[in-house]
Amino acid sequence: MLRAKDDRLHNVFILNWEEVLGILYPIKPRLAKRMQENARALKDLPFFMVNYPYGAKIIHNRDVRLPLVGGDSISFNDPSLPDILREHLSYTPGFDNPVGMILNKEAEFYLERGKRIVSYPVIKTGQTFGFAHIVDAVMNENSETGKKAYVSIWNLNAGARTAFILPKVSENQKHANLLETYGINVEKPSLYTEQQNVFRALNASIDDPWVQPVIYFPKQLLKMLKTGKCPAIYQEMSNIHRSGYNIWHTTYSKWEGDINYVFEESKANALSSYAVSIAKHIYLIVAGGVPGFAPAIDENMLPKKLIEDAYAQGDGYGLTEYWPFIMQPKQFNAKESVYYSLGLPSLINYNPNTFKGKTQIELLSEIVEVLRLSQKYILNKFEDRESILYDTARKARFSFYHDDPNPDKYGQPIKSSALLPKEDSRFFKKGWAFPYLSQFVRSCIKIEPVA
């Protein structure tokens, strides 16, 4: 394993053939085996492993990046990079791109929309990104020469981009203490979406930081796959690519048509269009199209212990009452609940002006009704029982929380946010209070799997 000869680059390594196989066999043994079977064609090619520190840009504004010392990043196409990197990893935007595989942990695809973050499905260990260009090239090999492939608009950072602490962490003196203790310099966050800047700086300040390894395949191998050489490798990488498919790649158009039909037939459309948009987003979370949020329970998407220590210990930020519960993106599954918050609108179809002037509990009350009407219709009247939408409605139930639920006015479905630690042990920390008045949980929806 050789370090790329550039003092600016951070954790960029050149791998030989044996090292590549040793890394891939535990993660994707079938792919490693297919590559070993084609050793004659591949054994002299260099491969590249990059250890991205937490929050580092992997893809940004359609540009694939390498990390630099000091926390910045550089394009794969930058002419100042070492020759070996440009020779084997450079690409032509819109026509091809590097193909990478996540070797450990998870990362979040996302878009920035002003101060909002729109999340896309999480990418996990052993999944690839960029391979769609290879599939397109093979499928369109008889089409017009030079036809551009689809270029993804989604950004990708190492770990969770939309990560934040529930209690407020915006006191000037406490933030200054944190900066002094860890020797960092970052502006005090005022929004949830700004907290990752601090987390990234904390991670960079320690000797053993959180990193996410990614392996990049040289473009000479990708050219072989496009031109029909090494078909067994192409097939296995296609299988890996398809394993990451979700509703966007398969049945989204039908699902969207079905849910719009249900909203119309159930009379849910008579309610606020913003409430309907949020209900649609919640169904999309259950269908796997976008993540919800959940308390972090491990280091899979961020340096959890480091962040907790930095905010809970007296020589750091020094929270004294509320534990620094960390929220992160989480795909819905059959085991754990995820959450959507009116205080962190991450939905794609964002149209809050249709509800302008009303309170969050009024909006929450309308979402309760939209979901009640649509669930009743899908489970009792919707005829396509084989559809993704029917499966979506059947495998989840919803609970609603507000810091001041006012049951006399809004009914029993809306519960107090203070109940969350009793209903979800991930929100309980012995000896610490739960910040039920925080922006995220004071008006939120729990999306819970049905056993």
Mean pLDDT of the chain: 93
Burial class (CB in 10 A: 0-12, 13-18, 19+), 63: middle
Give which of 246, 280, 258 is closest to 371, Cα–Cα.
280
Entry pTM: 0.93
Longest dimension (CA), the chain: 75
Question: Where do the H-state alpha helices sit in 130-227?
Answer: 132-139, 172-182, 195-204, 219-226
- C-beta separation of 302 from 318 below 8 A: no
Give which of 81, 129, 84, 77 is closest to 103, Cα–Cα.
129
Per-residue b/e over 132-146, b at no fewer than 16 CB within 10 Å? bbbbbbeeeeeeeee
Angle of CA points 12, 124, 219, to nearest 5°: 45
What confidence score (pLDDT) does residue 160 get? 97
- C-beta separation of 111 from 31 below 8 A: no
Q: Which residues pair with 278 in a beta bridge?
A: none
Q: Cα separation of 441 and 451, whole Å?
A: 24
Return the sign of the alpha-carbon dihedral for residues 42, 229, 137, 233.
negative
Question: Which residues of the chain carry a pLDDT beneath 70?
Answer: 139-152
Residues forming CATH 2.60.120.10 domain(s) in the chain: 2-243
Q: Cα separation of 38 and 232, whole Å?
A: 9
- C-beta separation of 98 from 47 below 8 A: no
User: What tokens appear for 26 in the block?
Assistant: 């535990």
Q: Cα separation of 153 and 136, whole Å?
A: 16
Domain 2-243: CATH superfamily is Jelly Rolls (2.60.120.10)
Q: Cα separation of 28 and 125, whole Å?
A: 10
What are the pLDDT digits (tens) for 32-71? 999 999 999 999 999 999 999 999 999 999 899 999 998 8
- Main-chain phi, psi angles of 100, to 5 degrees: -125, 160
